[in-house]
Every structure is written in C-alpha cells, then in structure tokens.
Structure 1
Amino acid sequence: MSKVNSRIQQLNFLLKKMDKIHLRDAAEILNVSEMTIRRDLSTDSSSVTLLGGYIVKSPQNNHQNNYVILEQETKNIAEKMYVGKLAASQIVENDVVFFDTGSTIPFIASQIPRSLKFTAICCSINTFLILQEYPYCELILCGGSYSRHNNALSPISLSNELDNICTTKAFISTAGVSQSKGITCCYFDEVQTKRKAMNKTEKSILVFEHSKIEKTHQAYICPLNSFDQIITDQPLPETFDTTDIDVLL
C-alpha cells in the first residue's frame, strides 16, 4: 500500500467515528504537513475531500458506507492512533490475534496492512466491522449478550470460542492503570473475557494512552505485571515496576 493510500485509509477510519476532522488535527494525527494532506485529497479518486478547512466524506461516496457503528469516545484521537500504529506493527504473517473491546482497539485494527494474512478473534462489533473488510483476515466473532455501553458481546455461558483457540497475541485494553490498584475497567462483564484471553495467549499485550495512567475503576482485571508487553504513548511513572515487561513507546 502506498503512503497516500495508507493516509486516506486512516482518514476514512476516523470519519467513521466523527463527521469531520479539521485539517490541522489530521496533519498532527498522521504526522505530515497540511500541504501533504491537501495533495492527497486533490486526487479525483479520493473518498474524502476538503471542505472549508475540514476533511469530510466525499458526497459521491457516502452511499458506500455500510457501517453501523455506535458513537464512541473521541478524546485523545491522535494518541490512540499512535498507540494503534505501534500495536499493529507487532502483528506478523499467520498470527492468531485476540482483539479486546475498548476505544483504542479499533485504532489497531484500522492500521494493519490489508495484505497481511492472519486470524482475528474479537468480541467488539466496532473492531469486527473494520476487520471484515480485510481480504486475508480469517475472522472469528465471540458470541454472547450484546452490551450497548461498549458495543461488545459478553459470554452468557461458562465456555465460548476463546476456550477452543490458542492465540499468539492478545491486545487487552484498560480504563485504568495503577501500580498499587492494578489494571481496571469500567464494566464487570468485560473482566471474564479479558482474563480468559490473557490465559489462552502466548503474548499478552496491554494497550492504552496516557490518560489512563493513575486511574482506577470498579472492575479489577489483574496486576500490572501480568502482561508480557505494554504499548502506550508516554513513559510510565518511575514508581511503576515494569521489570520483565517489554514497554513499547
């Protein structure tokens, strides 16, 4: 994929989460100049266009958008895109990867090369809708009860698809990262799936952006040192013990 096509793909992904993106913000997120984006959008085949300083979906292509994605948190988009790019770079040919629920996880899925052959297991509708467009991705959606608060499926029985699949990597999201209180999230129905995914994988990877640091929420997942790798956008506090954990910034 060319750099231009890659940038257009990322802009298309962002426009599934919001109606418009200011040109300045898009340049910051993609780490290029505003002029570079203007050149990208000048092509007749571009699916997005520049209108009054904002990037929007091209009117002639709006009918092609068949996604049904619930409104998500749109804070720290640049940071999530950065973390997503780092995480996506860790996926290699023939990997079997679990994708957790959470607002950062779709940013990983959106930046995986479309030519890559891999297997994906996910419980989030948002991530599923992104990966189903990837021609070489064997896609497995974990079933269960649909939760509107996080657009995910939670198991209603003691066993589910994760019991029968050993993954090579598992990307686990979090709403809170604390040395003393551990890794936490907002909803109890997410915990069982996160723990099971961690137990069934070769490499458990915690992904989050800096706003989650020193936050604690009601649903406890595990201690910080339960992970093999941490992917984030800023250095962790010196008080955090990351001995034997690979921290990728």
Structure 2
Amino acid sequence: MDKKINSRIQKLAFLLNQMDKIHLRDAAEILNVSEMTIRRDLNGDTDSVVLLGGYIVKNPQQNTDKRYFVAEQQTKHIAEKMHIGSLASELVQEGDVVFFDCGSTVPFIASQINSSIKFTALCCSLNTFMVLQDKPNCEVILCGGSYSRNNSFFSPLHLSSELDAVCTTKAFISAAGVDIKQGVTCFNFNEAKIKAKAMVKSRQNILVFDHSKLNQVQQAYIGELTQFDMIISNNTLPPQFECGGVEVRW
C-alpha cells in the first residue's frame, strides 16, 4: 500500500479509537485532502476502517471494541487537536526522554510521532499509554497510583513517584484554561500538582492547547505562561499572550 494512503488510514484508525464514527466531510478536513481521496483510499484493501453511509467506522469484522472513553472532551475540536499533535510530534527526537501529560490533546501528539524514532516516554494517563505502547521503538514508563475514570489519570499514592527518578528532555503539558492574568489552569488539583512537578524535572516545557481554552480559567493552578519554553496551539494567539520570549507555534 502507498505510504501516504497507509498514513491516512492509520490516522483514521487512531481517531476511531476516540469516537464511534467520523463523517467523511470531517475526515477530509482533518487530513487536508478531498472527500474523493478518502473514498479512493477506503476502496482499497483496508482491514481496519470502512466507509458506511457517509461515515467512516471501524471494520465490524475486525472491531473487538477495546476502546477506552476518556471523557466527552475527547471528541471535541478533533481537527484542531490533530493539527496541534502534528506540530508537537515533530519536536520528539532520537534519544529524547519525554513526559506526556494527561488530557484529550496529548494522545494526538503520541499517535503522530514517527515510529522509527527511538525515545523514552513517561506518562501518567491510560489513553496516552495505549498509544505509546504501540510505538515499536518507544520505551514506556507509566506513572502508577490511584486511577480516575473521569480523566484516565493515575495519581501517585506516595510522596515519591516515577517522576522523581526521571529527568526528561521535553514535557508536553496540556491545559483546560489559559488566561493572561491568572495563568495556566486545569480542572483537577492532582493533575495540576503532577504537571507542575513534571515541569520542574524537564529541560524544555511545551504548553499545548486549542483555541477554546483561551481566556478560560479553571480551579486548579498550574503555572504562568512565562514558565513555558514553547506554546503550541491551532491558531495565532492574541499579542498579549506572546510574552516573555516564549516561542509560539501554530
């Protein structure tokens, strides 16, 4: 199978691990190709995904339905998260030791990392772990603890955890709110604590969020925008958010 076709089908298969179906029009927008191109892709020999009545779904004959549903956020702003994931995944290099935060955007980063790259991944969420464990050249370290079904997140039971033992070269940190005055926030206090700890241990901290998080403030404080080395979003940021010499990519 052609490499470009195979890549598109793999991305569709990944997306269908997050949702039941994808409308053909939405898939074309996400993959930046025409609907006819996707139709041609799926007319070939594809075991994993099929086109049924204008929707792309998992092949019923192959689907064992081992998906994990993180939360309703997992199916929102899919195109934006795919774009952010593409930009962020390009930063992972040979030999990197990378912290992958929880959150619905982060699996879109993990899924698009080139499978030939050898790197170590440290993660604290089940949905991201399930993506990384399929990378043949990725050594995965899962931070354990008490498991929350609401956000697919592991909270350590002890004061020390795997985070204390590993120094990372890069940390991808997600956010539920980004505000110029009140900083970077999320919904959960345990999450915020882990994010802040990971940032202290990392050489380069990268904030990832889609446009819907701008000017939002949630209850759990993570840090200030100036504590990040890079910001990756799906669109240009208002001038006031580009501060302190932080690199912005979109």
TM-score, scaled to structure 2: 0.96
* Cα separation, 2, equivalents of 1:106 and 1:44: 27
Letter in 2 for 1:236: L
- SS of alignment partner, residue 115 of structure 2: coil
Letter in 1 for 2:186: C
How far is the alpha carbon of 1:239 from its aligned partner?
2.0
Say whether 1:8 aligns with 2:9: yes
The answer for the alignment partner of 1:232 in structure 2 is: 233
The answer for the alignment partner of 2:246 in structure 1 is: 245
Q: Are the aligned partners of 2:169 and 2:202 in contact in 1 as well (CA < 8 Å)? A: yes
How far is the alpha carbon of 1:71 from its aligned partner?
4.4
How far is the alpha carbon of 1:72 from its aligned partner?
3.9
Q: Are the aligned partners of 1:101 and 1:124 in contact in 2 as well (CA < 8 Å)? A: yes
Say whether 1:181 aligns with 2:189: no
The answer for the alignment partner of 2:145 in structure 1 is: 144
Q: Which runs of 5+ in 2 are unaligned?
A: none
Q: Between the two proteins, what is the percent identity of the paired residues? A: 60
**Which deviates more, 237-246 or 119-128?**
237-246
Say whether 1:216 aligns with 2:217: yes
The answer for the alignment partner of 1:132 in structure 2 is: 133
Q: Are the aligned partners of 1:144 and 1:155 in contact in 2 as well (CA < 8 Å)? A: yes
Q: Are the aligned partners of 1:146 and 1:153 in contact in 2 as well (CA < 8 Å)? A: yes
Say whether 1:112 aligns with 2:113: yes
- SS of alignment partner, residue 61 of structure 1: coil
* Cα separation, 1, equivalents of 2:46 and 2:236: 40
How far is the alpha carbon of 1:68 from its aligned partner?
3.7
After the TM superposition, which segments of 4 or more aligned residues of structure 1 sit over 4 Å from their partners? none
Q: Are the aligned partners of 1:17 and 1:71 in contact in 2 as well (CA < 8 Å)? A: no
The answer for the alignment partner of 1:206 in structure 2 is: 207
- SS of alignment partner, residue 120 of structure 2: strand
The answer for the alignment partner of 1:93 in structure 2 is: 94
Q: Give the aligned CA root-mean-square deviation in angstroms.
A: 1.3
Say whether 1:79 aligns with 2:80: yes
**Which deviates more, 41-50 or 157-166?**
41-50
* Cα separation, 2, equivalents of 1:32 and 1:156: 46
Letter in 2 for 1:168: T
Say whether 1:166 aligns with 2:167: yes
Aligned length: 248
* Cα separation, 1, equivalents of 2:191 and 2:243: 24
- SS of alignment partner, residue 121 of structure 1: strand
Q: Which runs of 5+ in 1 are unaligned?
A: none
- SS of alignment partner, residue 57 of structure 2: strand
* Cα separation, 1, equivalents of 2:237 and 2:243: 9
The answer for the alignment partner of 1:192 in structure 2 is: 193
